[in-house]
Amino acid sequence: MSRYLLIIEYDGSPYNGWQFQKNQTTVMGTLMNACQKVFETQKFELYGAGRTDAGVHALGQVAHLDVNTSLRPEAIKIKLNDILPATLNLKNVKSVDSKFHARYDAKARSYVYHISTRRTAFGKKYAYWIKDKLDVMDMQKAAKVFVGMHDYKSFGSAEAENQSTKVEILHVGVHQQASSILVHIVGSHFLWKMVRRMVGTLIECGRGNINETDIRKMLNHYSDIPAKLTVPPSGLFLEKVYYSSVPETFVPVWPMVIDE
Protein backbone atom coordinates (compact mmCIF):
# COMPACT_ATOMS: atom_id res chain seq x y z
CA MET A 1 0.00 0.00 0.00
CA SER A 2 1.03 3.60 -0.59
CA ARG A 3 0.57 6.29 2.06
CA TYR A 4 -0.89 9.71 1.34
CA LEU A 5 -1.18 12.81 3.50
CA LEU A 6 -4.55 14.60 3.31
CA ILE A 7 -5.15 18.20 4.38
CA ILE A 8 -8.86 18.67 5.00
CA GLU A 9 -11.19 21.56 5.72
CA TYR A 10 -14.75 21.08 6.86
CA ASP A 11 -17.82 22.80 8.20
CA GLY A 12 -18.50 20.73 11.31
CA SER A 13 -22.16 21.80 11.60
CA PRO A 14 -23.72 18.68 9.97
CA TYR A 15 -21.27 16.19 11.46
CA ASN A 16 -21.21 14.33 14.75
CA GLY A 17 -17.50 14.99 15.07
CA TRP A 18 -14.49 13.58 13.22
CA GLN A 19 -14.32 10.03 14.53
CA PHE A 20 -16.16 7.25 12.69
CA GLN A 21 -19.36 6.17 14.46
CA LYS A 22 -21.77 3.56 13.22
CA ASN A 23 -25.15 5.03 12.19
CA GLN A 24 -23.85 8.59 12.67
CA THR A 25 -22.73 11.16 10.09
CA THR A 26 -19.10 11.95 10.83
CA VAL A 27 -16.27 13.56 8.88
CA MET A 28 -14.18 10.40 8.91
CA GLY A 29 -17.14 8.23 7.92
CA THR A 30 -17.99 10.55 5.02
CA LEU A 31 -14.38 10.43 3.81
CA MET A 32 -14.33 6.63 4.10
CA ASN A 33 -17.49 6.34 1.99
CA ALA A 34 -15.92 8.52 -0.69
CA CYS A 35 -12.72 6.42 -0.63
CA GLN A 36 -14.71 3.22 -1.15
CA LYS A 37 -16.29 4.70 -4.28
CA VAL A 38 -13.11 6.19 -5.75
CA PHE A 39 -10.82 3.22 -5.08
CA GLU A 40 -13.57 0.58 -5.50
CA THR A 41 -12.35 -1.30 -2.44
CA GLN A 42 -12.78 -1.46 1.31
CA LYS A 43 -9.10 -2.32 1.76
CA PHE A 44 -7.73 1.01 2.91
CA GLU A 45 -6.93 2.66 6.24
CA LEU A 46 -7.55 6.25 7.29
CA TYR A 47 -6.07 7.91 10.41
CA GLY A 48 -6.67 11.47 11.58
CA ALA A 49 -4.28 13.75 13.46
CA GLY A 50 -6.89 14.10 16.18
CA ARG A 51 -10.58 14.13 16.89
CA THR A 52 -12.86 17.14 16.72
CA ASP A 53 -16.19 17.19 18.55
CA ALA A 54 -19.62 17.53 17.00
CA GLY A 55 -20.07 20.98 15.45
CA VAL A 56 -16.36 21.85 15.50
CA HIS A 57 -14.87 23.00 12.19
CA ALA A 58 -11.44 22.52 10.62
CA LEU A 59 -9.32 24.76 8.44
CA GLY A 60 -6.44 22.28 8.28
CA GLN A 61 -7.20 18.84 9.70
CA VAL A 62 -4.62 16.24 8.68
CA ALA A 63 -5.05 12.54 7.99
CA HIS A 64 -3.06 9.80 6.32
CA LEU A 65 -4.51 7.27 3.93
CA ASP A 66 -3.11 3.85 3.08
CA VAL A 67 -4.42 2.41 -0.17
CA ASN A 68 -3.34 0.56 -3.30
CA THR A 69 -3.96 2.82 -6.28
CA SER A 70 -2.35 3.92 -9.52
CA LEU A 71 -3.90 7.40 -9.18
CA ARG A 72 -1.57 10.33 -8.68
CA PRO A 73 -2.14 12.53 -5.60
CA GLU A 74 -3.77 15.36 -7.57
CA ALA A 75 -6.16 12.90 -9.21
CA ILE A 76 -7.05 11.45 -5.80
CA LYS A 77 -7.89 14.93 -4.54
CA ILE A 78 -10.04 15.76 -7.57
CA LYS A 79 -11.93 12.46 -7.59
CA LEU A 80 -12.64 12.52 -3.85
CA ASN A 81 -13.75 16.17 -3.95
CA ASP A 82 -16.13 15.34 -6.80
CA ILE A 83 -17.93 12.95 -4.44
CA LEU A 84 -17.62 14.74 -1.11
CA PRO A 85 -20.38 17.12 0.05
CA ALA A 86 -19.84 20.87 -0.08
CA THR A 87 -19.19 20.93 3.68
CA LEU A 88 -16.01 18.84 3.30
CA ASN A 89 -13.06 19.62 1.06
CA LEU A 90 -9.60 18.17 0.47
CA LYS A 91 -7.17 21.09 0.21
CA ASN A 92 -4.17 18.92 -0.64
CA VAL A 93 -3.11 15.31 -1.15
CA LYS A 94 0.52 14.24 -1.36
CA SER A 95 2.59 11.07 -1.15
CA VAL A 96 4.46 10.52 2.11
CA ASP A 97 6.81 7.95 3.58
CA SER A 98 5.15 4.80 4.90
CA LYS A 99 6.49 5.62 8.38
CA PHE A 100 4.67 8.96 8.56
CA HIS A 101 1.77 8.99 11.03
CA ALA A 102 -0.74 11.83 11.05
CA ARG A 103 -1.30 11.67 14.80
CA TYR A 104 1.91 10.44 16.38
CA ASP A 105 4.26 12.57 14.27
CA ALA A 106 2.45 15.82 15.09
CA LYS A 107 4.57 18.29 17.05
CA ALA A 108 1.75 20.72 17.89
CA ARG A 109 -1.79 21.71 16.98
CA SER A 110 -3.51 25.08 16.84
CA TYR A 111 -7.12 26.14 17.25
CA VAL A 112 -8.93 29.42 16.74
CA TYR A 113 -12.16 30.34 18.49
CA HIS A 114 -14.33 32.99 16.87
CA ILE A 115 -16.34 35.33 19.09
CA SER A 116 -18.78 37.87 17.69
CA THR A 117 -19.43 41.05 19.65
CA ARG A 118 -22.69 41.72 17.82
CA ARG A 119 -25.71 39.77 16.70
CA THR A 120 -25.15 38.48 13.17
CA ALA A 121 -27.43 36.76 10.70
CA PHE A 122 -24.58 34.89 9.04
CA GLY A 123 -22.21 33.75 11.74
CA LYS A 124 -24.26 31.65 14.16
CA LYS A 125 -22.75 28.38 12.90
CA TYR A 126 -19.24 29.84 12.94
CA ALA A 127 -19.13 32.24 15.88
CA TYR A 128 -20.28 32.66 19.47
CA TRP A 129 -22.14 35.91 20.08
CA ILE A 130 -21.31 37.55 23.40
CA LYS A 131 -23.79 40.29 24.32
CA ASP A 132 -21.67 41.69 27.17
CA LYS A 133 -18.85 44.10 26.46
CA LEU A 134 -15.50 42.31 26.71
CA ASP A 135 -12.24 43.94 27.77
CA VAL A 136 -9.86 42.48 25.20
CA MET A 137 -6.79 43.80 27.00
CA ASP A 138 -7.78 41.93 30.17
CA MET A 139 -8.26 38.79 28.08
CA GLN A 140 -4.83 39.25 26.50
CA LYS A 141 -3.15 39.60 29.91
CA ALA A 142 -4.94 36.56 31.31
CA ALA A 143 -4.08 34.48 28.21
CA LYS A 144 -0.37 34.64 29.10
CA VAL A 145 -0.98 32.61 32.29
CA PHE A 146 -1.84 29.54 30.19
CA VAL A 147 1.50 29.48 28.37
CA GLY A 148 3.91 26.74 29.47
CA MET A 149 3.58 23.23 30.84
CA HIS A 150 0.63 22.92 33.23
CA ASP A 151 -1.77 20.33 34.56
CA TYR A 152 -5.06 20.96 32.72
CA LYS A 153 -7.27 18.55 34.66
CA SER A 154 -9.55 21.50 35.55
CA PHE A 155 -10.00 22.27 31.86
CA GLY A 156 -10.41 18.90 30.18
CA SER A 157 -10.53 15.15 30.43
CA ALA A 158 -7.98 12.62 29.23
CA GLU A 159 -9.12 10.19 26.53
CA ALA A 160 -7.84 7.24 28.57
CA GLU A 161 -7.51 6.68 32.32
CA ASN A 162 -3.74 6.37 32.15
CA GLN A 163 -3.25 9.50 29.98
CA SER A 164 -1.57 12.48 31.61
CA THR A 165 -3.51 15.74 31.92
CA LYS A 166 -0.30 17.77 31.58
CA VAL A 167 -0.18 19.83 28.38
CA GLU A 168 2.37 22.29 27.05
CA ILE A 169 0.73 25.42 25.69
CA LEU A 170 3.02 27.27 23.31
CA HIS A 171 0.90 30.32 22.57
CA VAL A 172 -2.41 31.95 23.48
CA GLY A 173 -3.33 35.12 21.63
CA VAL A 174 -6.46 37.27 21.70
CA HIS A 175 -7.03 39.42 18.61
CA GLN A 176 -9.83 41.81 17.66
CA GLN A 177 -10.87 42.99 14.21
CA ALA A 178 -14.11 44.88 13.73
CA SER A 179 -16.83 42.88 15.58
CA SER A 180 -14.80 39.67 15.69
CA ILE A 181 -12.55 38.49 18.53
CA LEU A 182 -10.30 35.55 17.80
CA VAL A 183 -8.71 33.42 20.52
CA HIS A 184 -5.71 31.58 19.05
CA ILE A 185 -4.32 28.63 21.04
CA VAL A 186 -1.31 26.47 20.11
CA GLY A 187 -0.35 23.42 22.17
CA SER A 188 1.41 20.08 22.11
CA HIS A 189 -2.00 18.38 22.23
CA PHE A 190 -5.37 19.04 23.85
CA LEU A 191 -7.66 17.26 26.26
CA TRP A 192 -11.37 16.77 25.59
CA LYS A 193 -13.17 20.16 25.67
CA MET A 194 -9.98 21.84 26.90
CA VAL A 195 -9.88 24.64 24.30
CA ARG A 196 -13.56 25.49 24.76
CA ARG A 197 -13.08 25.74 28.53
CA MET A 198 -9.98 27.88 28.18
CA VAL A 199 -11.92 30.24 25.91
CA GLY A 200 -14.87 30.33 28.31
CA THR A 201 -12.51 31.25 31.13
CA LEU A 202 -10.94 34.04 29.06
CA ILE A 203 -14.40 35.39 28.23
CA GLU A 204 -15.11 35.65 31.97
CA CYS A 205 -11.84 37.56 32.30
CA GLY A 206 -13.13 39.92 29.61
CA ARG A 207 -16.34 40.37 31.62
CA GLY A 208 -14.31 41.14 34.74
CA ASN A 209 -15.49 38.10 36.71
CA ILE A 210 -12.15 36.20 36.68
CA ASN A 211 -8.52 37.36 36.74
CA GLU A 212 -5.03 35.92 36.27
CA THR A 213 -4.82 34.81 39.91
CA ASP A 214 -8.01 32.77 39.52
CA ILE A 215 -6.59 31.01 36.44
CA ARG A 216 -3.37 30.16 38.30
CA LYS A 217 -5.45 28.58 41.07
CA MET A 218 -7.37 26.50 38.49
CA LEU A 219 -4.08 25.28 37.05
CA ASN A 220 -2.58 24.44 40.45
CA HIS A 221 -5.65 22.83 42.03
CA TYR A 222 -8.63 21.08 40.50
CA SER A 223 -11.67 23.30 39.95
CA ASP A 224 -15.04 22.57 38.34
CA ILE A 225 -15.47 26.23 37.30
CA PRO A 226 -13.99 25.85 33.75
CA ALA A 227 -16.44 23.03 32.97
CA LYS A 228 -19.30 25.40 33.76
CA LEU A 229 -17.84 27.95 31.35
CA THR A 230 -17.54 25.62 28.31
CA VAL A 231 -18.38 27.62 25.18
CA PRO A 232 -20.39 26.16 22.25
CA PRO A 233 -18.54 24.21 19.52
CA SER A 234 -19.84 26.48 16.75
CA GLY A 235 -17.03 29.03 17.09
CA LEU A 236 -14.17 26.52 17.22
CA PHE A 237 -11.85 25.76 14.29
CA LEU A 238 -8.94 23.32 14.18
CA GLU A 239 -6.54 25.62 12.41
CA LYS A 240 -3.35 23.66 11.77
CA VAL A 241 -1.29 20.60 12.67
CA TYR A 242 2.49 21.15 12.87
CA TYR A 243 4.95 18.41 11.92
CA SER A 244 8.55 19.15 10.94
CA SER A 245 8.90 22.34 13.00
CA VAL A 246 6.91 24.75 15.16
CA PRO A 247 7.43 28.49 14.54
CA GLU A 248 8.43 30.91 17.30
CA THR A 249 5.63 33.33 16.41
CA PHE A 250 2.06 32.50 15.46
CA VAL A 251 -0.29 34.43 13.20
CA PRO A 252 -3.88 33.16 13.31
CA VAL A 253 -5.95 32.38 10.25
CA TRP A 254 -9.25 34.26 10.44
CA PRO A 255 -12.10 31.96 9.44
CA MET A 256 -14.27 35.05 8.88
CA VAL A 257 -14.52 38.63 10.10
CA ILE A 258 -17.81 40.19 11.18
CA ASP A 259 -17.94 43.89 10.38
CA GLU A 260 -18.98 46.61 12.83
What would the CATH number be for the domain defined by 2-96? 3.30.70.580
Low-confidence stretches of the chain (pLDDT < 50) are none
Domain boundaries, the chain: 2-96, 108-242
What would the CATH number be for the domain defined by 108-242? 3.30.70.660
2-96 with 108-242: one CATH topology?
yes
- The predicted structure's pLDDT at residue 107: 96
97 a catalytic residue? no
- The predicted structure's pLDDT at residue 163: 81
Give pLDDT tens digits for 200-212.
Answer: 999 999 999 999 9
pTM over 0.85, yes/no: yes
**Using CA atoms, how far apart are residues 112 and 182, in angstroms rounded to an integer?**
6
- The predicted structure's pLDDT at residue 182: 98
Outline where 40-88 has alpha helix (H): 73-83
Give pLDDT tens digits for 88-136.
Answer: 999 999 999 999 999 999 999 999 999 999 999 988 899 999 999 999 9
| CA 29 to chain CA mean position, Å | 18
- The residue from 11, 53, 132, 151 that is catalytic is 53
Please tell me whether residue 20 adopts helix, strand or coil conformation.
Answer: coil
Please tell me whether residue 173 adopts helix, strand or coil conformation.
Answer: strand
